[in-house]
Amino acid sequence: MKRIGNRTLIFENTPVIKGYASVAGKKEYEGPLGKFFDRIIFDPYNGMETFEDAESSFQAEAVSLAIEKSGVTTDEIDYIFAGDLLNQCTGSSFGIRDFQLPFLGQYGACSTMGQGLIMSAVFTDSGAARNAVCATSSHFCAAERQYRFPLEYGSVRTPTAQWTVTGAGSCVVGRADSGVSIAAATVGKITDYQVTDPNNMGAAMAPAAADTIASFFRDTDTSPENYDLILTGDLGLVGSRSLYELLFAEGFDIKSRHNDCGLMIFDREAQDVHAGGSGCGCCATTFCSKIMNDLENGILSNILFVPTGALLSATTAEQKKTIPSIAHLIDLVSPMCS
């Protein structure tokens, strides 16, 4: 592993995603990506007593499926990196406790999947782990209760608001001769453009995405034309438009190469999700379904996966503080390119 430029890592031992899985809820299944998810759970409680317990069960299911698909046993996994949106990341700690794996909790808000992938790649590339698991989740009902209002309140959503995805995603990362490889990664910096509206997180996160993407291009001396797809986490409609403007000002035009998980997972008009999807589960389920499928089959050759996160809490929102944000970038290469 070597570092180039300001903050980009090049992985020399080629960590590979050996297995991946996505678990999604009913609304997500009814969207454009429904056929790509590994498991659909139609009951928002999933047989549990609370929405929070249901989210934990979603994440446990995603981890189990990813391990099963990877061909490695639980005994061959040395670490698990997981996090979520719930207070103190209890969705993860309660969800994965029965696996009895060494655990390092992660929090990057909706960028957590990217942070977990980077940590898994660093550990396996360096030899600190034979195999590592990363996972994350979110649940619409649990997130509404924590960050906004209980569903019973019936609050009106603003046009810039996004719909938290109910779902979970997980990847098993290790060294292997073939598979979708993690070639490089750029760790994000906290960016704050003084946005204070918690119902417009796309605007808050777009500057972080622009900063990380521009840094990667400069560190690697590449351009948007070198990649089939630049996939951001959940900027939604508003944030994606802002991203194009911010990067164009830096000399990069990504519009023809860009898509956003928050725009892919739902049909915005038909499903009434306003500006798109959000939540840790948004990029996790999108990436661990259609995107990984397309990479494995050579439909995509080389992509940049850029999960984004708004680093606010219910407390800071009530205190009218600004919304610091972050974005991490992972460069992934199809096995068809080997």
pLDDT in tens, 198-233: 888 899 999 999 999 999 999 999 999 999 999 999
Residue at which a domain ends, from 175, 204, 222: 175
Residue at which a domain ends, from 148, 175, 202: 175
Residue 131 placed within a domain: yes
> How far is it, in rounded angstroms, from Cα 278 to Cα 276?
7
Same domain, 150 and 238: no
Confidence of residue 146 (pLDDT cuts 50, 70, 90): confident
Same domain, 162 and 16: yes
- Tell me how crowded residue 184 is: count the other CB atoms within 10 A of its CB: 23
The pLDDT tens digits of the residues spanning 277-310 come to 999 999 999 999 999 999 999 999 999 999 999 9
Residue 295 placed within a domain: yes
Task: Name the β-bridge partners of 19.
Answer: 172
pLDDT above 70 for 236:
yes
Residue 225 placed within a domain: yes
How close are the terminal C-alpha atoms of the chain, in Å?
Answer: 19
Same domain, 188 and 167: no
Same domain, 156 and 267: no
Question: What is the pLDDT at residue 247?
Answer: 98
Same domain, 195 and 148: no
SS3 208: helix
pLDDT above 70 for 152:
no
Same domain, 24 and 136: yes
Confidence of residue 161 (pLDDT cuts 50, 70, 90): confident
Same domain, 65 and 18: yes
List the domain range (segments joined by +) for residue 210: 180-337
Same domain, 229 and 289: yes
**In total, how many domains does the chain have?**
2
Same domain, 138 and 214: no
Same domain, 70 and 168: yes
Residue 4 placed within a domain: no
Residue at which a domain ends, from 127, 155, 175: 175
Same domain, 139 and 50: yes
Contact 295/332 with Cβ under 8 angstroms? yes
> How far is it, in rounded angstroms, from Cα 220 to Cα 243?
20
Reported residue count of the chain is 338
Provide the whole-model pTM: 0.96
Q: What phi-psi label fits residue 236: left (phi over 0), alpha (psi between -120 and 50 degrees) or beta?
A: left
Residue 63 placed within a domain: yes
Residue 212 placed within a domain: yes
> How far is it, in rounded angstroms, from Cα 54 to Cα 246?
38
Residue 130 placed within a domain: yes
Question: What is the pLDDT at residue 294?
Answer: 98
Same domain, 124 and 244: no
Token pair in block for residue 48: 């549990």
Question: What is the pLDDT at residue 314?
Answer: 86
> How far is it, in rounded angstroms, from Cα 112 to Cα 65?
19
Give the burial string for 238-261 (b: 16+ CB within 10 Å, else e). Answer: bbbebbbebbeeeebebeebbebb
Residue 2 placed within a domain: no
Q: What is the CATH number of the domain that holds 119?
A: 3.40.47.40
Confidence of residue 58 (pLDDT cuts 50, 70, 90): very high
> How far is it, in rounded angstroms, from Cα 147 to Cα 142?
9
| Whole-number average pLDDT of the chain | 94
